[in-house]
Structure 1
Amino acid sequence: MRMTAIASALLAACAALPSLANAADAAPAPEHTFTSNVTLASEYIYRGIGQTNRKPAIQGGFDYAHSSGLYAGTWASNVSWLTDGSSTVSNSIEMDFYGGFKNTVGDFGYDVGVLQYFYPGSGYGNNPNTIEGYIAGSWTFLTLKYSHSFSDLFGWTDSKNSGYLDLTAAYELSPGLNLIGHVGRQKIHGDNSGASYTDYKLGVTKDIAGVVVGLSYINTNASQAFYTNAFGKDLGKDRVQLTITRTF
């Protein structure tokens, strides 16, 4: 009888294991989450405009998220657009600082926050440092976002209150493989309204053992008169971008 009782107890314990595993699987998300990321890119392209004169970029950032939906982070990349063709300007990096609140309700999500673009250096004409507020809404694989500048935008004179509206789709074709589509409209306020443009992007991303490889075709209708640099490079011209990203 003793052996039978022990066997019965063991069977009961084994039967309870799936329930314990399920309970562990359903454990709540941690209150505080810290992540970091690093990217190697064939070129830094932002809103369709080249930032590194068609040369590679290394980028990375750190993010904090609270279970309530509050978040904050910082990100940086090498840049050259401020110094290209100008011996009086000293700058080689862009640093971004941001924070906000986001949450999801079923298939719908929302995100609101503030972003500071900071270009440490000297010799600038109009200050390129920019502050934007943004608000975004998402549904399954679609995200619509609007960004509004509270300062002059990236050094354009009298460009406060410029706005950028973009629609992005990230559709999962198979586990780890995503199709990315994007269209955005950058509106430049003030005397430089001719610099306003629309940008487009079509690409794919593939997660390979935790490393995400992206390949995209990017184009704009930006005016060459505004976006050709001192080296004769049209920074809004169509090109292909390769990125390799790892998140930790």
Structure 2
Amino acid sequence: MLNIDWTATWLQNLRDTGQTVQQSVSEGASVCQALNAASTAGCTGIRFVPQSALPPGMAYEQFIFERGIVPTRDNLHDFFNGLCWMRFPQTKQRLNQLQAAEIAAAGVTPLRGPVRDALTLFDENAALLSAPQPLWDALLARDWPLLFVGLRPLWREARLVLFGHALLEKLVYPRKPITAHVYRAQTAMNSIAELDAWAALSLSASTLAGKPFTPLPVLGVPGWWPDNEDFSFYDDRSVFRPPR
């Protein structure tokens, strides 16, 4: 397993379990074995199995829905996917239920359709943001100087939690262009369990079909990356793009 910097701000909610799983893998366990050994999400009925358990031709999401087991490869992508299952079990199950419902209605086709596309985007790249209204307005307007410089002190009242496992995988090698698809959290975020329960209840096919996301270059968040203390960091218009 790669050398993950567990001191990174965006990993604080996964740190303890993630380090335990990583240590098991470094001692020779497969990713699925390490996840099962560390799992504290037994109430979900989910466990992890090798990717070879997925029958040829069967949709990954349908397999999880029907059998309550997650095919898992020995790579960083599935390592973070497993951690997210353990930390956000209700939200992950809700996404899987919605995927299975879409598959049952339309079958598995080359084109996933808007709902399955949005479900996949959420699963892979979402972040949950609770923030004062002025920050949210600036984010929606893509007014980056206002969001990150003018309103910088307000970020002390905000909380951003990364959910997407592909997003977490990309941040093992942090780069300025890495961008999350932000979903607004209408909850105080007093705990990850509370956030998980709220997100699971908030997600529906109709909500996701409306594309309720807005892009956020996550390394621009104050306190998340030392380079953004120099405000010229935000002058890069290839990353901090103005509205169309």
TM-score range, shorter chain: under 0.3
Greater fraction strand: 1
Greater fraction helix: 2
- Relative to the length of structure 2, the TM-score reads 0.22
- Relative to the length of structure 1, the TM-score reads 0.22
